[in-house]
């Protein structure tokens, strides 16, 4: 693959993830009141509308907004820089690893947009089993998680099948 084509694919993948994430969040904002839930699969899955001022699993949620904005802003920009650097250095044959970087980058940008717009992230996917709830998350979080999973698989096995 020609290097410029690789970056076109990266931009398309990242743009698609960001568009899906932001569209879903806009629908949540428009149709689900804050802290309300709509059961989708009773006893297992709700669409909900919550705001997460922290990171994954509420990390740093108790810190003041200035600290959170500074830490998450710096961390996101560093992550974006590192992802682009490693994407550039990834051999073109490692398509799964390139896809992992696209997923992580798209998710990071999706959540960064929320932090810039609202000072926190909109979460809406709520999985649970009886009284046990997984922390609510969003499409950007899912993209980051899948991308990190592929990346870890690459590190463990030194190459993933494409």
Secondary structure (H, E, C), 48-83: EEEEECCCHHHCCCCCCHHHHHHHHHHHHHHHHHHH
pLDDT attached to residue 72: 72
Average pLDDT, the chain: 88
Q: Which residue has the higher pLDDT, 20 or 92?
A: 20
The active-site residue out of 21, 114, 126, 141 is: 141
Closest listed residue to residue 152, CA positions, set 81, 103, 114: 103
The active-site residue out of 114, 123, 126, 162 is: 123
Q: Give the tens place of pLDDT for each residue, 104-138.
A: 999 999 999 998 899 889 999 999 998 898 999 99
pLDDT attached to residue 76: 83
Is 141 among the catalytic positions?
yes
pTM over the 0.85 mark = yes
pLDDT band at 159; cut points 50, 70, 90: low
pLDDT band at 66; cut points 50, 70, 90: low
Q: Give the tens place of pLDDT for each residue, 9-18.
A: 999 999 999 9
What integer is the mean pLDDT of 36-47? 96
Other C-beta atoms within 10 Å of 68: how many? 20
């Amino acid at each position: 693959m020609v290097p410029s084509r690789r970056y076109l694919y990266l931009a398309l993948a990242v743009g698609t993830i960001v568009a899906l994430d932001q569209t879903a969040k806009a629908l949540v904002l428009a149709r689900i009141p804050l802290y309300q839930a709509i059961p989708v699969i009773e006893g297992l899955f709700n669409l909900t509308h919550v705001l997460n001022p922290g990171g994954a699993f509420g990390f740093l949620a108790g810190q003041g907004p200035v600290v959170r904005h500074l830490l998450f802003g710096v961390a996101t920009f560093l992550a974006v820089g590192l992802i682009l650097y490693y994407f550039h250095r990834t051999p073109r044959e490692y398509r799964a690893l390139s896809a992992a970087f696209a997923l992580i980058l798209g998710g990071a940008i999706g959540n960064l947009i929320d932090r810039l717009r609202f000072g926190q992230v909109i979460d809406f996917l709520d999985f649970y089993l009886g009284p046990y709830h997984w922390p609510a998350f969003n499409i950007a979080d899912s993209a980051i998680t899948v991308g990190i999973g592929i990346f870890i698989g690459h590190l463990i096995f030194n190459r993933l099948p494409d």
